[in-house]
Amino acid sequence: MKVAFQGEKGAYSEVALRNFFNEEVEAIGYELSEEVTDALLNKEVAMAILPVENSIVGNVNVNLDLLYKHPLFAIGEVYQNIHHHLLANKGAKIEELTKAYSHPIALAQCRNFLNKNSIQPVADYDTAGSCKLLKERGTLNEAAIGSYLCAETYGLEILSDDIQETQNNITRFLALVREEEIPESLLQTKTSIAFSANHRPGALLDCLQIFKKYNINLTKLESRPIPEDPFQYIFFVDFLSGIKESNTIQCLQELNQDAHHVKVLGSYPKGHKEVN
């Protein structure tokens, strides 16, 4: 089975993908998230996996927008611990390093380690991409910050592991299929939806009261601007109930009367959070 992810081989998205699927799958990387969803919609791949939230930096808004705009459906979630390692070509030594390449967020999360070792951070477009380019250059005075899978994929050495300041750095990924291919037997204990509230005082509160009425526990509530409608917002909600549960069915029926553009983004088994 072909599964799409965003990034180069060895990216944290591929780590999450391989942790999610028990069976052997063919992981196919794409440069942009839009290319990932296009590949899924065009049936080039059977499934896709995209990050939607990080415990430190918050939502991955571009991916939430893609999920809302396209006929996709989340059938699983995985919480992936993000471990940043200092990687280098074989023969390199920490004391001889002058630069470290990675995504700006990864560099920021490893700032103290880099400063302590007098290594200059250099921003690159992608963690795995910086590892791939480092291998191609073959230099011994440069490093990259990436995953253990990057080290395996590109034959790099881990000079120092877990160099990030915050150890509990967790990214939440959703596993996606096309809407017409939702498995019938899927266990559903958690649901993600999006909607916009009416433009009147108390409209959002009225919507939230509906969830309370049907005893549904919300685990997330976030808002995103609607580009086509200035100063109007889409609300993204996660809650602990499957879409086939009677209380969820009644809740969504009532919500459709009080809100606009209600869309179920997915319903899936609740993922397990592994905290360091």
Per DSSP bridges, beta strands 47-54 and 2-6 are parallel
Distances (CA, A) of 2 to 196, 234, 245: 34, 32, 31
* 202/91 Cα distance (integer angstroms): 64
Q: Where in the chain is the domain with CATH 3.30.70.260?
A: 190-268
**Separation between Cα atoms, residue 266 and residue 273, nearest integer Å:** 19
Residue 67 φ/ψ, nearest 5 degrees: -65, -35
Average pLDDT on 19-24 reads 85
Tokens matching residue 210: 């509906």
**How many CA within 13 A on the CB side of residue 199?**
5
pLDDT computed for residue 274 by the predictor: 64
pLDDT higher than 80, residue 227: no
How many C-beta atoms lie closer than 10 Å to residue 272's C-beta?
A: 8
Mean pLDDT, rounded, for 124-139: 96
Share of the chain above pLDDT 90, in %: 86
What pLDDT, in 10s, does the model give residues 184-203?
Answer: 888 899 999 999 998 788 88
pTM of full prediction above 0.85: yes
- Per the annotation, the verdict on 173 as an active-site residue is yes
Query: DSSP readout, 54-111?
Result: ETTTEE-HHHHHHHHHSSEEEEEEEEEE---EEEE-TT--GGG--EEEE-HHHHHHTH
Helix (H) or strand (E) run with residue 47 in it: strand 47-54
Domain(s) of CATH 3.40.190.10: residues in the chain: 2-82+169-178, 85-160
| Active-site residue, from 173, 195, 211, 236 | 173
Helices 12-20 and 127-137 pack at an angle, to 10 degrees, of 120
pLDDT score for 249: 97
Tens digit of each residue's pLDDT (9 = 90 or more) over 132-157: 999 999 999 999 999 999 999 999 99
Is residue 268 classed exposed, middle or buried when 0-12, 13-18 and 19+ CB atoms within 10 A define those classes?
buried
Average pLDDT rounded to a whole number, residues 233-252? 96
**CATH T-level topology, domain 85-160:** D-Maltodextrin-Binding Protein; domain 2 (3.40.190)
Q: Per residue in 221-240, is it b (16+ CB within 10 Å) or e — as a string?
A: ebebeeeeeeeebbbbbbbe
Asked if residue 210 has pLDDT above 90, the reply is: yes
Residue range 176-181: mean pLDDT, rounded: 96
Is the pLDDT confidence value at 275 over 60? no
Rounded to whole angstroms, the maximal C-alpha distance in the chain is 65
Sequence-distant (≥ 6) Cβ neighbours of residue 252 within 8 angstroms: 193, 243, 262, 264
Among 171, 191, 211, 236, the one annotated catalytic: 171
Question: Residue 236's beta-bridge partner residues?
Answer: 194, 222
Annotated active-site residue 171? The verdict is: yes
54-94 per-position pLDDT tens digit: 998 899 999 999 999 999 999 999 999 999 999 999 999 99
Q: How confident is the model at residue 276 (pLDDT cuts 50, 70, 90)?
A: low
Paired sense of beta strands 47-54 and 142-146, if any: unpaired
In single-letter form, the type of residue at position 122 comes to V
Q: Which CATH class is domain 2-82+169-178?
A: alpha beta
- Summarize the confidence of residues 245-271 as an average pLDDT: 96
In the CATH scheme, what architecture does the domain 190-268 have? 2-Layer Sandwich (3.30)
Mean residue pLDDT of the chain comes to: 94
